[in-house]
Each structure stands twice: as C-alpha cells, then as structure tokens.
Copies of this chain bind each other. A is one copy, B any other.
C-alpha cells in the first residue's frame, strides 16, 4: 500500500455527503454564537479542570462568553496532546480562518472576534452544514419535546427515553408525561402504555427515525409480569423516589420493555448506548462527571434481542473492551447493529482497533460507522474527519494492502457504512 492510495481513499470517502445519526444539536440554535459555545463543550472544560483549572473558574455564575474563552484559552496547554484538542484546532482552522496550531494568550482574542463575526451571519448554520458536507443530523429530543419550529428534514427527531426508563419515579417526569401526552396516569398499566404510545405517535408523526437510550452497566432488561409491574407502578406513583429500589427497578424494566414493543409496532430502531455510570465525580464540571464500569456484558441483553427480532438495535458501547462482544453479537443476531464509537472510546487508537474488528467480522450492511454526538454543528466535521482518517488507514492497509482489493471496492465499503446504512437502517417516512 502506498500513501497515495490511502490519501486517495480518504479523499473519496471525505466527499460522501453525510447524515449524522446521533447528535445533541438544538435545532433552534444548531450552531455556535460565540467561541464560548465551542470551548464550553464538556470535553474542554472537563479536561482543563482535570489538568488543574478549578471548577469555580470555569462555572463562575454570570461569567460572559469572552471572559470564559479567555480563561479556558490560557489553560489549554496541558491538553494539547488530546484528540479533543485536535478537533478544536481543526475546526478553528476550517471555519474561522485560524492560522496557528495552538490557541494561547497571543491569539485567542482575534480568534474569538473572527469566530463571532462569522457566527453572526444569518445563514451560519447552513454554511457549517455545507462546508461539512452534511445533509442532516439526528437530534436527541426529550420525550415531551413539541418538535415544532424547525425543518425536520435537516434536523431529524429522535425520541430519547432515559427519563422515562430511569427517572419516572420523579414527580416532575410524571407531570411532564401527563402534560405532553394528555393522558392521566391513573395507576393502571394501560394508562402508562397509552401515554407512551401517544409519544411514539407524536414523534413518528413528526419524522422521528429512532428511539434512543443510554444505560448504566448494571441494567439487565427483562420482561416484567403485569402483576409485578402493576404493584411497582402503584408504589412508584405513591412514593416517588422514596419507593423501594426493587419497585423502581421493576418499573424501569417494564417501561424499557414497553418501549421495545412500541419500537416494534412503529418500526423505529432502538439505539442502545450501553455502559454509562452517571455522577461518578460529582465535583466535576457540567457533563464531566460520568464514567463507567467496564465489567458489563451484552449477554445482559440476550433476552431482549431474542424477544424482538423485528426491532433493529444499533448498539454503542462505552468501553472498548466490550467491542468484541458487540462484534460477535452483530455477527450472529440479525437485529444487532454496531453503532459508532462512543465518548471515552472515541479517540483514534480505540476507533482503529474497534473499527477494524467490525470491518473484518460484521456484515457490512449492519455497521453504522460513526456519529458525532455533537452539541453544536461545528463539531460534526472534525469528529467525522478523525474517524475518516482512521477508516482510510484501515481500508488502505487491510482491504487494499492485505486483501488485494482495488481502491474503488474499498471506497464502496466506506460509503456503505458511512452513509448507505444510515439511510437503510433509519428509513425516512414519507
């Protein structure tokens, strides 16, 4: 394999117009308005904090965006080696005309100003999408989102269900569910199911193409009998978060199972993002407090995968050690799909090893290469580009270099997992 073949493959796959199948973009403010939206991303705040910057300097109440950017810019030196820092530099160079390879005291302010003036353009979001070669992005919508006021062809709704499964004991969540569904939780399982059903109708009616959830490593989804579920629901409605953990857990499993049934009924894929422990470091910055226990197994999901053969489960795993189990499950279960490189596994060396294991063992029509998980549009491009650089290496080294494929065939595989599978696994309704 020569470098030129690798670069040529990279160029080809970089020209593929993307749909980003998982983001946290706010469709009402999809792009950034100042550099503080960029540098305020948890990756920079948590890494700067980890490297020594006190949390109260980062999260001081009332601090303005320029001051926040200044403070962070002066604390980035220790994280220059990270992949996350590289996203930052690359997006500043691509979108804001930044010419340097480091952000520091000498240049942060001019960068701030040039970014601000670009972001002020009315068509900035669309410019970012176009420069990023991105057609549309999936959102992460709360279950009570009205999904109004944006173009759902570009910003594709996705029903996020963490609150329903894991926080239904909170009265605030119950009230939101009643409020948005218009269905009273009268204590019956039927009312609970009806309210969830109503939410699926709402979301699918407004173009949703997936249901999604993030799950702690201890969760084992299994069906809960009507009797057990009814008593759990009764206790949780009565006692809220004070209800016994056994009741809350039974209700979680019941709601989860009901969601899977509704995915089946409505033909929605169910994105499972497996492994996160929330709030492990409560003293950390906003969104910089979660970790995981890598001792999780997809065997916990065997009953689910068997019970719903017609539901597609795009699965993300938080720890790279779980990737082989994911590969093996996608290898034999028709409804298990490998999905992206998530969070702590979203750095080049983990991507390289996890992606290669998938490419050599999982049918190519069951691999969703990547999603950005971005909160602001500017991050879609550098994250996908990190992935594409790894993918170009793997396609060139393994498929061209070792398997003797020609370039065209390697690029076809890239296109299949980067774009075609998103179209086919999450089909748009008409």
Contacts and interface: CB of A to CB of B under 8 A. Distances in A.
Interface string A362-380: 1111100000000000000
Contacts of A399: 81
A332 B320 CA distance: 18
A78 B324 contact: no
A400 B277 CA distance: 35
Contact of A325 (B52, B294, B306, B362): B294
Interface string A393-404: 000001100111
B289 A332 contact: yes
Interface of A: 46-47, 49-52, 78-84, 86, 101, 277, 280-284, 288-289, 291-295, 297-299, 302, 305-306, 309, 319-322, 324-325, 327-334, 344-345, 347-350, 353, 356-357, 359-366, 389, 398-399, 402-405, 413
Contact of A291 (B281, B299, B344): B299
A80 B49 CA distance: 46
B366 A334 contact: no
Contacts of A359: 81
Given A81-B364, A295-B297, A365-B52, A350 B324 contact: yes
B331 A47 contact: yes
A404 B101 contact: yes
Contacts of A306: 281-283
10 contacts: A46-B332, A49-B334, A79-B364, A82-B362, A83-B360, A283-B309, A294-B321, A321-B324, A324-B345, A347-B357
B291 A294 contact: no
B366 A333 contact: no
Contacts of A344: 324, 327-328, 331, 361
Given A349-B360, A403-B86, A284 B413 contact: no
Nearest to A75: B363
Given A281-B332, A292-B325, A363 B82 contact: yes
A84 B348 CA distance: 26
Given A325-B294, A365-B51, A402-B389, A332 B288 contact: yes
Given A348-B360, A364-B81, A402-B348, A331 B292 contact: no
A259 to B, nearest CB: 22
Contacts of A321: 294, 321, 324
Nearest to A84: B361
Given A81-B360, A324-B350, A277 B293 contact: no
A350 to B, nearest CB: 7
Contacts of A302: 280-281, 291
B46 A328 contact: no
Contact of A78 (B292, B293, B363): B363
A293 B82 CA distance: 30
A398 B349 CA distance: 10
A10 B363 CA distance: 29
A134 to B, nearest CB: 23
Nearest to A89: B403
A359 B280 CA distance: 23
A63 to B, nearest CB: 20
A353 B364 contact: no
